[in-house]
Amino acid sequence: MHRTLYSFAALTCIGLLSSCGENTPTESKPPLLTEGIRATASGVQITADCETALSEAKTAFDALEAQTGEATVESVFGQYETMADALTGIGDVWHLRSVHPDADVREAANACSERQSDFLSQIGLSRPYFDRIAAIDTTELTAVERHMVEEALEGFRRSGVDRDAATRQKIRTLQSDITALGNEFDKNIREDVRSVQVDASELAGLPQDYIDAHPADDTGLVTITTDYPDLYPVMTYAKSDGLRKALRIKARSRGYPANKGLLEQLITKRHELAGILSFPSHAALSMDSQMIESPQNAQAFLDSIGDALKVPVQKELAVMLSRLQQDQPGAESVEVWQSGYIQNLLQLEDYKLDAQEVRTYFQYERVRDGIFQLTEDLFGVQISPWDTPTWHEDVETFEITENGTLLGRFYMDNHPRPFKYQHAAHWTLRTGIKDKQIPMSGLAQNFPKGLMEHSQVETFLHEFGHLLHNMFSGTQKWSSVAGMSMERDFVEAPSQMLEEWIWDFDTLRKFAINEQGETIPRALVDKMVRARHFGRAIGTATQVYYANLSLNAYNREPSSFDLDDLTRELESKYAAYPHLPGTHFYANFGHLNGYSSNYYTYQWSLAIATDLFSKFEEGGLRNTSVANEYRRRVLEAAGSKPATEFVADFLGREFSTKAYIKSLQEGD
DSSP state of 521: P
SS3 57: helix
Length of the chain in residues, anyone? Answer: 668
CATH numbers and ranges of domains, the chain: 5-189 (1.20.1050.40), 193-239 (no CATH), 364-533 (1.10.1370.40)
What CA–CA distance (Å, rounded) separates 569 from 305? 19
Crossing angle of helices 165-191/258-276, nearest 10°? 160
What CA–CA distance (Å, rounded) separates 77 from 64? 9
What CA–CA distance (Å, rounded) separates 576 from 541? 6
Q: In Å, what is the CA distance from 658 to each residue of 598, 618, 645, 663?
A: 21, 18, 18, 9
Beta bridge partners of 17: 426
Taking alpha carbons only, the member of 544, 543, 569 closest to residue 556 is 569
Q: Which residues make Cβ contacts (< 8 Å) with residue 424, sequence separation at least 6?
A: 16, 443, 444, 445, 446, 459, 460, 462, 463
Integer distance in angstroms from the first to the last C-alpha of the chain? 31
427 CB-contact burial (10 Å; exposed 0-12 / middle 13-18 / buried 19+): buried
What CA–CA distance (Å, rounded) separates 244 from 237? 9
Report residues of the chain scoring pLDDT below 50: 1-29, 668
Query: What are the helix (H) ranges across 160-291?
Result: 165-191, 208-212, 228-237, 241-251, 258-276, 282-287
Phi, psi of 218 (to 5 degrees): -65, -20
CB-based contact 160:168 (threshold 8 Å) = yes
For residue 280, say if its preceding peptide bond is cis, omega within 30 degrees of 0.
no
CB-based contact 49:424 (threshold 8 Å) = no
Which is it for the CA torsion 194, 197, 200, 204, positive or negative?
A: negative
Letter string b/e over residues 632-664, b meaning 16 or more CB atoms within 10 A of that residue's CB: ebbbbbbbbebbebbbeebbeeebebeebbebb
CB-based contact 101:136 (threshold 8 Å) = no
What CA–CA distance (Å, rounded) separates 289 from 331? 47
Give residue 569's pLDDT.
Answer: 97
What CA–CA distance (Å, rounded) separates 157 from 289? 12
Q: Got the DSSP string for 590-637?
A: THHHHTTT-TTHHHHHHHHHHHHHHHHHHH-TT-HHHHHHHIIIIITT
Q: Which residues make Cβ contacts (< 8 Å) with residue 403, sequence separation at least 6?
A: none
Give residue 30's pLDDT.
Answer: 63
CB-based contact 234:206 (threshold 8 Å) = yes
- Measure CA 423 to chain center: 9
Which is it for the CA torsion 319, 322, 324, 326, positive or negative?
A: negative
Break the chain down into helix, strand, coil percent, rounded to 5. 60, 5, 35
∠ Cα 149 162 156 (to 5°): 30
Strands (E), 278-434: 382-385, 396-402, 405-413, 425-430
